[in-house]
Structure formats: C-alpha cells, structure tokens
C-alpha cells in the first residue's frame, strides 16, 4: 500500500469499481421488505444546503432611502434611482462574496457507524474500506477512538466514521470519553448507520437508538445475517423495528460477504451530498501509521489474553523512527494492576513475545516496510478513571 511521511494519512490503491448489481444481489433484502410491507422513502436529490438563496430586494429599499434624502437636501440627482435599480437580484447582502454552487457529479459525505459494543461495527468498516483500519476483537470496547475510513467508488466518496460502542453500564472517565466521542460524531455526519445483530434488539440497543438525532437519516443495518438459520424468523422482528423508528432504509447483511458490501454502497450513494471529495481518490484513512501501530498492538493484546484481561488496558507509542524502509517502534502497554502486568508478560515472557511478533507481522503487511518492535508493560493505577491520564494517552 502507499505510504506518506510520518504522521500523514495512510492510503492505498483505489478500490475496483463495483460491477452492475445482479438481480439476485438484493434477494435477502427484497424478500424481507416485501413480506414486512417495508416501503423505502424517496431518495434525496441534491443537498439543499447548496441551493442558491432567494433573490433579495435590498436595492429597492436603498433607492427609496436615497429618494427621501434627495427630497430633503435637494442636491441629489435622480440618477440614483436608476443606479439602485441595477442592484435588484443581488444575493448575499452588501459586500458579501458570490454564492458558489457546485455543479459537478461527484458525491461525498460523512457516514457514522454506531451501535452497542460487539455488533460488528469495526468489521463492517474494514469491509467497506477494503483494508483493516479499525481493530476487531470479541472483547467489548475494542474501538476507543473516532476512526475514519475512506472508500471512493466511481464518482462517490464514502467517509465512514467508526465509533466506540456506546456505554450504558459504566461511568468511568474512559467511558464518559467514549460516549462524548460518539455524540460528537453524530452532530457532524450526513447519514447514520445503526448496526444491530439480525433478529436481536436488547436494552443496550434501545438506549443507543434513543440517542440518535431525529434530523438525520438513519439506515438500519441488520448485521450477522449469516448467523440466522431461518430467515422467516426475521419477519416479526423487522416489523417491531419499523415501529421503533421510521428508518430510511433497512439492510440485512453479513459484513464478511463482499456482495453485501457492494450492495450497501449502491443503497447509500444517493444519500451523499453532491460536492467535492474530502480526500484523494486512493485514501483509506485519515489516521497516521503511528496511530494504527498502537491499535494493532492493542488488538493482539486483547486477542491473546481473552477474558483474562479487563478492557482497561491501552498502548502508548514511546518512540517512532523511520530509516528508509525500516520502522523502529517502542511501545508501552499500560495496565491498572500488577497482576495484569504479569498476565500480559506470561511465563518466561512468552505471551508478550507472541503479542509483539503478531503485531509486527501485521504492521509489516500494513506499511509494506520492515518493522522492529519493542514492547514494555507498565502499571498506572486508576488511569482509566483519570481525565489527565486519558489526555496524555491520546484520548480526545
């Protein structure tokens, strides 16, 4: 993949343009929609924000004022009326720049991916981008930062924002930070993908749904469709979901199936405003290689410790050096207790070595470079409930 200088965004080759959708590509969605009586809303056209403002009649008002002044002073020429008439139709007020209207065919928009923890948001983001930009794990709270993934398909650029799973059970400083991240994302986007597991909807899902803005179009993504053995069982569930909110679209899919991902592009495309792209055509993420390195290490940490290690562990990059095609990285795994430190290091340091080895191999593939990785483990008691520590570790 292509690389930029340190700290810059990571990019790669442009994705292959999807072929025309085959008639059977939307079979699952069409069958479900037909049985449930779901009707899609009319697709939006151009972004209303780009519409030109109505013409103003400021010129006439100015002329009337000047006429009054002329009557009083007696020395203002009647030509003022003629000049002021020329101002009719000017928009934006006196001295305002002309309104720029985008007339191209490109589309671009921000799309938030939200849902409770462990519904497959990061897996979906990686599938949509075509490369791993967000880490995945069965452990809740794998995603902790606002991760942006970019994919350009034909004239449309999709800018996806993966968010942490919204926290409803714990009130630590870390979780409050994660929730602020989610709420901040929702205020900026053009479209929201609300991800749930197909056929399931619990209290945590309901709490997330209640926080979604009413002024944004929301697409219901029924993920993990491959885990549903009897599709007919989805019909009562779908009807109940339609009663909870008037979703703009309902899309059953498996994030691991490329045909489902390509179908989702076509469904989302009309909701993107017509405007210039935000990123280059081959961009994949706005995150730096340094950030991705810390995330890859954290992913291997969670995968190799399983349920033994609480989610309150993080990774800090202490040193980052580039020497041609070599990356020298020193990183620290931060935990809250001594027992967790021993758990990560393992007998004879074997577990820590394996974490480092697997992270290094994936980083070499991601960066197309040789990686030398050093890992350390340190205890910082109470870091997850300290706003100061969170800021020092890079949490927004």
Residue 83: is its pLDDT beyond 80? no
**With bands split at pLDDT 50, 70 and 90, how would you rate the model's confidence at 267?**
very high
**With bands split at pLDDT 50, 70 and 90, how would you rate the model's confidence at 72?**
very low
Q: What is the pLDDT of residue 180?
A: 61
**With bands split at pLDDT 50, 70 and 90, how would you rate the model's confidence at 182?**
low
* Gap between the Cα atoms of 293 and 302, Å rounded: 15
Does this model's pTM top 0.95? My answer is no
Give the mean model confidence (pLDDT) for residues 373-394: 66
Residue 192: is its pLDDT beyond 80? yes
Q: What is the pLDDT of residue 220?
A: 97
Extract the tokens encoding 195. Answer: 């991800």
Residue 129: is its pLDDT beyond 60? yes
Q: What is the pLDDT of residues 296-335, one digit of tens each?
A: 898 898 888 876 665 667 888 999 999 999 999 999 998 8
| Residue, of 44 and 208, whose pLDDT is higher | 208
Yes or no: say if 60 and 82 are a contact pair by the CB < 8 Å rule.
no
In the predicted model, what is the mean pLDDT of the chain? 74
Q: What is the pLDDT of residue 94?
A: 55
Give the mean model confidence (pLDDT) for residues 196-209: 93
Residue 273: is its pLDDT beyond 70? yes
Q: What is the pLDDT of residue 229?
A: 86
Give the mean model confidence (pLDDT) for residues 92-104: 65
**With bands split at pLDDT 50, 70 and 90, how would you rate the model's confidence at 159?**
very high
Q: What is the pLDDT of residue 132?
A: 79
Give the mean model confidence (pLDDT) for residues 254-269: 95
Residue 288: is its pLDDT beyond 70? yes
Q: What percent of the chain is modeled with pLDDT above 70? A: 61
Give the mean model confidence (pLDDT) for residues 115-134: 87
Q: What percent of the chain is modeled with pLDDT above 90? A: 37
């Amino acid at each position: 993949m292509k690389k930029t200088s340190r700290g810059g965004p990571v990019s790669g080759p442009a994705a292959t343009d999807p072929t025309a959708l085959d008639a059977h590509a939307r079979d699952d969605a069409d069958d479900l929609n037909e049985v449930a009586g779901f009707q899609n809303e009319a697709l939006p056209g151009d972004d209303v924000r780009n519409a030109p403002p109505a013409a103003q009649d400021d010129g006439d008002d100015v002329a009337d004022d000047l006429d009054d002044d002329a009557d009083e002073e007696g020395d203002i020429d009647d030509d003022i009326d003629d000049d002021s008439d020329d101002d009719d139709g000017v928009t934006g007020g006196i001295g305002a720049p002309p309104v720029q209207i985008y007339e191209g065919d490109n589309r671009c928009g921000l799309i938030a991916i939200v849902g409770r923890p462990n519904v497959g948001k990061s897996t979906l983001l990686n599938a949509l981008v075509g490369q791993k930009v967000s880490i995945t794990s069965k452990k809740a709270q794998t995603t902790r930062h606002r991760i942006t993934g970019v994919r350009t398909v034909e004239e449309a650029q999709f800018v996806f924002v993966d968010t942490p799973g919204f926290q409803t059970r714990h009130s630590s400083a870390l979780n409050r930070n994660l929730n602020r991240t989610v709420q901040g994302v929702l205020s900026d986007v053009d479209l929201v993908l609300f991800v749930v597991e197909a056929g399931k909807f619990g209290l945590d899902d309901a709490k997330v749904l209640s926080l979604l803005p009413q002024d944004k179009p929301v697409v219901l993504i029924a993920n993990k469709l491959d885990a549903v053995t009897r599709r007919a069982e989805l019909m009562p569930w779908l009807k109940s979901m339609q009663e909870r909110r008037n979703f703009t679209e309902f899309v059953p899919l498996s994030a691991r199936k490329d045909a489902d991902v390509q179908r989702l592009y076509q469904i989302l495309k009309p909701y993107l405003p017509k405007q210039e792209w935000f990123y280059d055509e081959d961009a994949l993420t706005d995150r730096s290689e340094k950030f991705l390195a810390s995330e890859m290490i954290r992913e291997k940490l969670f995968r190799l410790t399983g349920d033994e290690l609480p989610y309150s562990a993080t990774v800090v990059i202490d040193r980052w050096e580039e020497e041609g095609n070599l990356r020298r990285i020193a990183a620290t795994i931060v935990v809250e207790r001594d027992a967790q430190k021993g758990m990560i290091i393992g007998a004879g340091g074997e577990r820590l070595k394996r974490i480092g080895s697997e992270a290094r191999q994936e980083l070499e593939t991601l960066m197309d470079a040789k990686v030398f990785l050093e890992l350390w483990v340190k205890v910082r008691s109470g870091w997850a409930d300290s706003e100061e520590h969170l800021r020092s570790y890079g949490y927004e």
